[in-house]
Amino acid sequence: MTRDILTIADLDSGGLNAILDLSTRADPGRPLAGKGVALVFQKPSARTRNSMEMATVQLGGHPVYIQKEEVGLGTRESAEDVARTLACYHSIIAARVADHELLERMAAAVETPVLNMLSDSDHPLQALADLLTVRQLAGTLDGVKVAWIGDANNVCRSLAEGCATLGVELAVASPEGYGFASVEADRLGIGQTADPAEAAKGARFIYTDVWVSMGQDAETEARRTALADYQVNASLMALTDDAWFLHCLPARRGEEVTDAVMDGPKSAVWRQAENRMHTARGAMAWMMGEGI
Ligand code: CP
Ligand code: NVA
């Protein structure tokens, strides 16, 4: 069985907890000694590229950063043939893609484990860092309430899958048309509302993300209008009992979050950003067969 991570739902509670534990061990070992990790990016990145490169080095491996134009994933060469080529040199193939299906096709073509570095539907590496952050700050995951305010997007879906598996309570507040379909909300076991105040009630963490994700530029005005009442600001935070603020970054300050919240004493966004490296290390160690 290949240890692909295309979605958080690919991992059961044993796998998720193993990755979180591998992420925080003092000596990460060198499971990638002498091995390569391919990092294919169809979209820009600051945190994912840097955290994945450094995590690879910390595990003894060598990262190769590959820009969109270089491999032409699905254009210059089919997704399957790109994966087969990269599998000749690398022990993990990681990709950030516009269309999630490309990852599935790559994973189906090779035995080498494939890692999703963000797709239109999922962002599992972000969710791993988010779960570690909640575990560190709350001391547990079990029964902790997290409120997601805004667009129920790729980051939200992966977080929701992790919360469902590890017993975190997630409430999602989104305007009409920007929440999960009810069948998916049922699958994820989450409560959805249109009211941010209702979601925030009793939450120990308030999480938001940009209103316009990469690739959605044509919808910018419609999204800004629809999501205008979903800003995380001091008024919303004041409805909580001193909750922590979470954001995957990059943030559009002044849109989905104010400077006062981003830079405030309960902002955990830089801890999340740092945890991206630790959980990338944990995820890749697990993909190399550790933590069984
Ligand atoms: N949070 C995140 O994935 O950031 P980047 O897009 O900068 O990698
Ligand atoms: N939802 C955002 C996350 C960026 C890390 C996007 O897909 O652009």
- CA 24 to chain centroid, in Å, comes to 18
Domain covering 125-273, topology: Rossmann fold (3.40.50)
Q: Which is it for the CA torsion 148, 151, 157, 159, positive or negative? A: negative
Ligand 1 atom with the shortest distance to the CA of 48: 8
In order along its 292 residues, the chain shows pLDDT tens digits of 679 999 999 999 999 999 999 999 999 999 999 999 999 999 999 999 999 999 999 999 999 999 998 899 989 999 999 999 999 999 999 999 999 999 999 999 999 999 999 999 999 999 999 999 999 999 999 999 999 999 999 999 999 999 999 999 999 999 999 999 999 999 999 999 999 999 999 999 999 999 999 999 999 999 999 999 999 999 999 999 999 999 999 999 999 999 999 999 999 999 999 999 999 999 999 999 998 6
Sheet of 36-41: strand order equals 62-67, 36-41, 92-96, 114-116
CA-nearest residue for atom 1, ligand 2, is 213
**CATH 3.40.50.620, applies to 8-123+277-287:** no
According to the model, what pLDDT value does residue 261 have?
Answer: 98
pTM as predicted = 0.98
Partners of 66 in beta bridges: 40
pLDDT in the model for residue 2: 76
Ligand 1: lining residues by beta carbon, under 6 Å: 45-48, 118, 126, 248-250
Ligand nearest to the CA of 248: 1
* Common-topology check for domains 8-123+277-287 and 125-273: yes
Ligand 2 atom at minimal distance to the Cα of residue 248: 5
Domain ranges for the chain:
8-123+277-287, 125-273
